[in-house]
Copies of this chain bind each other. A is one copy, B any other.
Amino acid sequence: MLLSALSNVEPLPAVSEPPASGGAASVEVMADDEPTIGLLAGLDPAVAAELLEQAERRVVRADEVLFTAGQLAHSVHVLGAGAAKLVQAMPGGAQIIVKYVRPGEIFGSPALLDRFYPTDAVAVTEGVELRWSSQLVRTYIDRHPRVAFNVIGDLEARLREMESRLRDLSKEPVEQRLARAILKLVEMFGRQTREGVEIPFPVSRQDLADLIGSTLPTVSRTVRAWEAQRQIRRSRRRLVIADVEAVARILYQENAREPDHERGRSRTARQ
């Protein structure tokens, strides 16, 4: 009964490593419609199916809050479909978007350690959420170490992603940070349409600002300029990237001051 549309996931592709997600702008558009659930990767198909069956499935509406920061984390979450954002509110009302979550990615993993959720999680589209009680996952980890590796892999990937964002935030101007953020969205969620690549959920200017650590007016101006150059369009609150490569090219404009021909890094080169 809990098992429904998703039971067809059973024949899992074995051990599919998540893409390395390096800092470079590998411009690709998401292909698969059926999410690869990181947590189940590489498991004996029977075990995977069993674990999948025990997930609590739930349809979520857009803008629904999946959990909030500070709650005791009781379960581990994965999206079966849809998308969500992890948001951290700051004193004063500002907020940052820590991450967009796509189907298959684990979130809420602090549950495994009986910690508190560090962020709010908000669905940005209608979708399907799978939840496992932390206790259950722990028993699976005990019996199937592969599950632990899958969690570790996911956390490592997120850590790499955060490191990369930290780097960008420190050293790149808004324009490039914004380009990078959009390219990342394309890579994670982009759907090819006739008009270009579409991000299939609303992304407001404020969202973009919260993603790159900037402000609404600044983001607006920048995006506007790109709209004027026909690189980006907007159709009913959704971003459509008409010319992905043009956006990617922004990353290399005027940036990358030549790496300083001296052997030892000169002083100014370090910053």
Q: Is the CB–CB distance between B92 and A257 below 8 Å?
A: yes
Interface: A185 (CB within 8 A)? no
Given contacts A163-B98, A169-B170, contact A109 B152 (CB under 8 A): yes
Inter-chain CA distance A52–B102, complex, in Å, is 39
Which chain B residues lie closer than 8 Å to A269 at the CB level?
92-94
A100-116 vs B, CB cutoff 8 Å, 1 = contact: the mask equals 00000000011011010
Q: Is the CB–CB distance between B158 and A94 below 8 Å?
A: no
Q: Is the CB–CB distance between B169 and A169 below 8 Å?
A: yes
Number of copies: 2
Interface: A167 (CB within 8 A)? yes
Give chain B nearest CB distance to A62 CB in angstroms. 20
Interface: A153 (CB within 8 A)? yes
Interface residues of A in 140-178 (CB under 8 A from B): 141-142, 145, 148-149, 151-153, 155-156, 158-160, 162-163, 165-167, 169-171
Which chain B residues lie closer than 8 Å to A199 at the CB level?
none
Inter-chain CA distance A153–B152, complex, in Å, is 10
Q: Is the CB–CB distance between B169 and A166 below 8 Å?
A: yes
Interface: A118 (CB within 8 A)? yes
Interface: A235 (CB within 8 A)? no
Which chain B residues lie closer than 8 Å to A138 at the CB level?
149
Interface: A75 (CB within 8 A)? no
- State how many residues of chain A have any CB contact under 8 Å with chain B: 54
Which chain B residues lie closer than 8 Å to A155 at the CB level?
152, 155-156, 159
Interface residues of A in 218-271 (CB under 8 A from B): 256-257, 259-260, 265-266, 269-271
Q: Which of B93, B118, B145, B167 contacts A260 (CB 8 A)?
A: B93
Q: Is the CB–CB distance between A270 and B159 below 8 Å?
A: no
- A binding-site residues for B, Cβ under 8 Å: 17, 20, 88, 90-96, 98, 109-110, 112-113, 115, 118-119, 138, 141-142, 145, 148-149, 151-153, 155-156, 158-160, 162-163, 165-167, 169-171, 206, 209, 213, 215-216, 256-257, 259-260, 265-266, 269-271
14 A-B pairs with CB atoms under 8 Å apart are: A88-B167, A91-B256, A93-B260, A96-B166, A118-B163, A141-B148, A142-B145, A152-B155, A155-B159, A159-B159, A162-B163, A166-B213, A169-B169, A215-B271
